[in-house]
Amino acid sequence: MKVTVVGAGAVGASCAEYIAIKDFAAEVVLLDIKEGYAEGKAMDLMQTASLNGFDTKITGVTNDYSQTAGSDVCVITSGIPRKPGMTREELIGINAGIVKSVSSSLIEHSPNTIIIVVSNPMDTMTYLVHKSTSLPKNRIIGMGGALDSARFKYRLAEALGAPISDVDGMVIGGHSDKGMVPLIEKAARNSVKVSEFLSAERMDQVVQDTKVGGATLTGLLGTSAWYAPGAAVSGMVQAIACDTKKIFPCSALLDGEYGLSDLSIGVPCVLGANGIEQIVNISLSDAEKAKLVESAEGVKKTNGLLVL
């Protein structure tokens, strides 16, 4: 298993670190346009190998896509991150050009790769890769829902005063503050619905805190978060590499599923060796359906800003 991570910033380096520590990949290539930056990050990470007990080889390269040849999975984190007060949608002008160029260069050297898109606005950038490349749709995946669901579980555990391993919850819809749909009605603590433990008001607070999870961190850090995004990507890559058939909510190109078409948006997907192996159609309440449709309208509006 060879994995390429494009963008050696905080998110990309965290992706590489978590993938290496899990020790399921033979090689991780970290690529960046800044001279020496990826090489330095790779060297620093390799110097942790004996301490963290992994044998994955991490290589850093400056803008040389030939070094990514034969990658089974490619992760695109490149682009400008959010700053306080910015929405993910405001990044589209610069990041669209970057993502389109990067995906083309990756596929040139790894025509059978699976691409995971992290760059924001994530659903629109995922849609752009679908529209600008010839990869089959099961091989293009957006990361957002996996991250949003992790943030949802964090807030649920916090509200319940429970260990996070006891909590299950999922976020579907667009990866945006207004668009994401935390499925609070289905959230559970060890198979018991959280409504048995929490008031309606507290549940609503969990939902709202989840939806602004990224913005909250951007306000605190002065830039986008990186640990949880890196962990979300590494979990998805591991599911593909190890063919685990694990379900992740992630951005997939829909063709009638959930009554939606011609957009990439977060829905539950089975991930395995072929990328998205199944889009899982779960039963939604009328309120959940309405929120998903509203979210889809927001994603399509952002997609309309693309120059394809």
- Write out the catalytic residue numbers: 175
Largest CA distance in the chain: 55
The answer to whether the bond into 182 is cis (omega within 30° of 0) is no
User: What is the spatial distance between Cα 238 and Cα 227, in angstroms, rounded to a whole number?
Assistant: 16
User: Which amino acid is located at 162 in the chain?
Assistant: A
Q: How many CB atoms lie within 10 A of CB 280?
A: 11
Element (H, E) at 290: helix 286-303
Spatial CB neighbours of 267, under 8 Å, sequence gap ≥ 6: 145, 172, 249, 250, 252, 254, 257, 258, 279, 280
Angle at 266 between CA 74 and CA 83, to 5 degrees: 75
Closest by Cα among 242, 246, 210, 243 to 228: 210
Radius of gyration, alpha carbons of the chain:
18
CA atoms lying within 13 Å on the CB side of residue 43 = 6
Cβ-based neighbour number of residue 185 at 10 Å: 13
